[in-house]
Amino acid sequence: MKNTKKFFVTTPIYYINDVPHIGHAYATFAADILARYYRQKGDKTFFLTGTDENSQKTVLAAEKARKNIKAYTDSLANKWKDAWKKLGISNDDFIRTTETRHRKVVEEIFKQIDKNGDLYKGKYEGLYCVGHEAFLKEEDLDEKDLCPDHKTKPDYIVEENYFFKLSKYQKPLLKHFKENPDFVQPPERYNEVVKFIEGGLQDISVTRQTQKWGIPAPNDPSQVIYVWFDALINYISADPSKWPADLHIIGKDILRFHAVIWPAMLLSAGYELPKKVFAHGFFTINGQKISKSLGNAIDPIKISEEYGTDALRYFLFKEIPFGNDGDFSSERLREVYNAGLANGLGNLVARVAKLCEKSKVTFKVDRSSLEFKLGETTKYALCLNDLNFQGALEEIWRRYRQLDHYLEKQKPWEIEEKGKLKPVLEYAVSEIIKTNELLKPFLPETAERIAKQFLQKKITSSIALFPRK
Ligand SMILES: [Zn+2]
């Protein structure tokens, strides 16, 4: 039977003038694990990431760097692309919101929303945080009247803007949430959004009069489209034939944009809604919030150079239940690395390989009989279906521990008779190869090395997968 299933997963598009840090890598690794898993199952998979470039912050940063804005954004977009390449990310596409393909779809959707009667001109008066690219209410400010996140004084803006009738979508959104209890995950985020919508939605300003950088509003080119309104559309503009997305992976700080404004825009423009929005948690570094002033942002590429990208992936998804906040510390990374990878998987693989090498047993490797099918009902599959990465990893490591116990019991190093030794080693090798299929989405480089080593007639030991740190 031909597999006709599809899976379309997105990361947020990242602010182009940010530097890729561990939080970005976290969301992108999560999408990567899922994309690899669904590809392996044979589903038509599309994994999209990209950069958000139409922000006023981009202009300010380019001016500060005394660079032409086009050259500036090109060089920054390449930095993001390089980062993902270095981290082995398997994205199928990379959308930049300065691309023509994006602008075209933004214009189209803007026009459709206008045609549906959901735009009107009004006066906007209020506080605007450039760091957020968002309006703030007075009650959002800290005791010094600064943006609590950016510690900057918001601008006071008075201008004529086009407003989107978000209020009109309160009821349709609530209906959608009721009918689709999985629409926003985890459940506490779902409840948070429902409560917010029930509290009443206000229309939002979706154009800017004074900004020059961005996509001009098709109905009034003296205005540019609000950067968030434009950015969200990337999920369609990259390839409209792929819509709807099955999953948007986002940070919980941008939940309202994705779970309230975005679906309302789609309802207005007559598009299907995404199947699921999953908000992951925040990181602290050694118990402290990541902040520019503390300079404690963690560079995932540096960690990858020291430990390997797979080790970072293992750490992030084993340590932090997806959706929760988590803490990163080098010490904990080393502990988890040594316990699960150096002493765990690495040791097991080295042990079995050495036994095989010493025994001179030859293996008839029939790949098809050894390959473990990624079943729909196995615990592993159920975990990944729920984005329970931790549970799926636990399932893999449970199998490794089981094999460890088996070897302890059989003691193949004490068996001298080749006829008795062979089935024991064959079982061990087949277990490693089967489990390797489950390992692939999580630790792709490691899985490839294991496959190379064990899918041979004569298995030999090789350099350690994870040298002790
Ligand atoms: Zn702010």
Q: What CA–CA distance (Å, rounded) separates 111 from 217?
A: 9
Give 134 Cα–ligand 1 centroid separation in angstroms: 8
Give 188 Cα–ligand 1 centroid separation in angstroms: 24
CB neighbours of 274 closer than 8 A, spacing ≥ 6? Answer: 235, 244, 245, 246, 247, 248, 262, 263
Measured in degrees and rounded to the nearest 5, phi and psi for residue 242 equal -85, -20
Residue 134's DSSP bridge partners are 129
- pLDDT given for residue 59 in this prediction: 85
DSSP letter string, 61-91? HHHHTT--HHHHHHHHHHHHHHHHHHTT---
Cβ count near 413 (within 10 Å): 13
Assign domain 6-281 to a CATH class: alpha beta
Give 135 Cα–ligand 1 centroid separation in angstroms: 9
- pLDDT given for residue 292 in this prediction: 66
Q: What CA–CA distance (Å, rounded) separates 437 from 451?
A: 9
- pLDDT given for residue 373 in this prediction: 64
In tens digits, the chain (469 residues) has pLDDT values of: 667 899 999 999 999 988 899 999 999 999 999 999 999 989 999 999 999 999 888 888 888 889 888 899 999 999 999 999 999 999 999 999 999 999 999 999 999 999 999 999 999 888 988 888 788 888 889 999 999 888 899 999 888 999 999 999 999 999 999 999 999 999 999 999 999 999 999 999 999 987 778 999 999 999 999 999 999 999 999 999 999 999 999 999 999 999 999 999 999 999 999 999 999 999 888 888 877 666 777 899 999 999 999 999 999 999 999 999 999 999 999 999 999 999 999 999 999 999 999 988 887 765 555 555 666 568 999 999 999 999 999 999 999 999 999 999 999 999 989 899 999 999 999 899 989 999 999 999 999 999 999 988 889 898 899 999 9
- pLDDT given for residue 371 in this prediction: 53
Scanning 162-206, the segments in alpha helix (DSSP H) are 170-179, 187-198
Q: Which of 229, 285, 258, 275 is nearest to 34 (CA)?
A: 275
- pLDDT given for residue 375 in this prediction: 61
Helix, strand, coil share of the chain (percent; to 5): 50, 15, 30
Give 24 Cα–ligand 1 centroid separation in angstroms: 18
pTM for the whole thing?
0.93
Give 147 Cα–ligand 1 centroid separation in angstroms: 5
Give 218 Cα–ligand 1 centroid separation in angstroms: 29
Give 452 Cα–ligand 1 centroid separation in angstroms: 50
Give 140 Cα–ligand 1 centroid separation in angstroms: 10
Give 7 Cα–ligand 1 centroid separation in angstroms: 34
Q: What CA–CA distance (Å, rounded) separates 80 from 62?
A: 16
- pLDDT given for residue 377 in this prediction: 66
- pLDDT given for residue 134 in this prediction: 80
Structure tokens at 370: 């050894």
Cβ count near 235 (within 10 Å): 25
Residues with CB under 5 A from ligand 1 (ion): 129, 131-132, 147, 149-150
Give 70 Cα–ligand 1 centroid separation in angstroms: 25
Give 131 Cα–ligand 1 centroid separation in angstroms: 5
Q: What CA–CA distance (Å, rounded) separates 170 from 194?
A: 10
Scanning 233-308, the segments in alpha helix (DSSP H) are 234-237, 255-256, 262-269, 300-307
Assign domain 330-454 to a CATH class: mainly alpha
Domain locations in the chain as residue ranges: 6-281, 330-454
